[in-house]
Amino acid sequence: MANHSQFGFQDASSPIMEELVEFHDHALMVALAICSLVLYLLALMLMEKLSSNTVDAQEIELIWTILPAIVLILLALPSLQILYMMDEIDEPDLTLKAIGHQWYWSYEYTDFKDLTFDSYMIPTTELPPGHFRLLEVDHRVVIPMESHVRIIVTANDVLHSWAVPALGVKTDAIPGRLNQTSFITTRPGIFYGQCSEICGANHSYMPIVVESSPLTYFENWSSLMSS
């Protein structure tokens, strides 16, 4: 999760998030190159006198027409690749349904017969020592590590949004509509998120906690929760 005064993204814990961070760095380097070029040209214009050859040069006009198009292509191609990767859902190992309510989440493991539960934020007065305020829940979402997980998101009342930054996941929960996305956790850990759509008075009290664990632990947990 994020630290105090952190400047940047959370540590990526899924292949999609790794691609998003890499594209962010790529876009920043392009922006840095553009800013450096513009500042250099401004300084050059302030220090030297302009000539008619500079103002009327067709070669320069050709360059500043083609160069922005090349820059846009360098940004568009990796962006489109990531968009297609985020929409690709091919034979998931586990399907999870998240239903947003005012103001808690309900989860259904559709591959299991009776594995459903509600997830409420733990009040500050009942928070165990060492847990995070406004982020910890009474029932975590447990998923197997290195498995393709599909999540189907909807809402029961108003608009919500199921978002976990470390996994690169953010999907709107809309009443009467099913949205889906997928992710793969690359390491064990506990990942925190929150509802990212203003949904009422207690919008900031809808945390999401995803626990990535080895397959054997997930099997034991699912058997315990189903019984």
Domain limits for position 23: 15-87
List the CATH number of the domain containing 110: 2.60.40.420
* DSSP string of 74-111, one letter each residue: HHHHHHHHHHHHHH---S-SEEEEEEEETTEEEEEETT
Asked if 190 and 11 touch (Cβ cutoff 8 Å), the reply is no
Same domain, 114 and 147: yes
Amino acid 6 reads Q
Residue 210 included in any domain: yes
Residue 165 included in any domain: yes
Q: Which of 87, 108, 131 is the last residue of a domain?
A: 87
Q: Which of 47, 66, 87 is the last residue of a domain?
A: 87
What is the structure's pLDDT at 1? 66
What is the structure's pLDDT at 56? 61
Same domain, 107 and 219: yes
Asked if 132 and 75 touch (Cβ cutoff 8 Å), the reply is no
- Contacts of residue 212, Cβ cutoff 8 Å, sequence gap at least 6: 13, 143, 144, 145, 185, 187, 188, 189, 190, 191
Asked if 166 and 175 touch (Cβ cutoff 8 Å), the reply is no
Asked if 187 and 146 touch (Cβ cutoff 8 Å), the reply is no
Backbone torsion region of residue 150, taken as left when φ is above 0, otherwise alpha when ψ lies between -120 and 50, otherwise beta: beta
**CA 115 to chain CA centroid, nearest Å:** 26
d(CA 220, CA 89): 27
List the CATH number of the domain containing 44: 1.10.287.90
What is the structure's pLDDT at 62? 83
Pair of tokens at residue 128: 């165990």
Question: 96: closest CA among 104, 105, 87, 88?
Answer: 105
Q: Which of 59, 87, 115 is the last residue of a domain?
A: 87
What is the structure's pLDDT at 142? 95
**Domain total in the chain:** 2
pLDDT in tens, the chain (227 residues): 677 777 888 888 999 999 999 999 999 999 999 999 889 988 888 887 665 555 566 777 888 889 889 999 989 999 999 989 888 888 899 999 999 999 999 999 998 888 999 999 999 999 988 889 999 999 999 999 999 999 999 999 999 999 999 999 999 999 999 999 999 999 999 999 999 999 888 898 999 999 999 999 999 999 888 77
Pair of tokens at residue 10: 């959370």
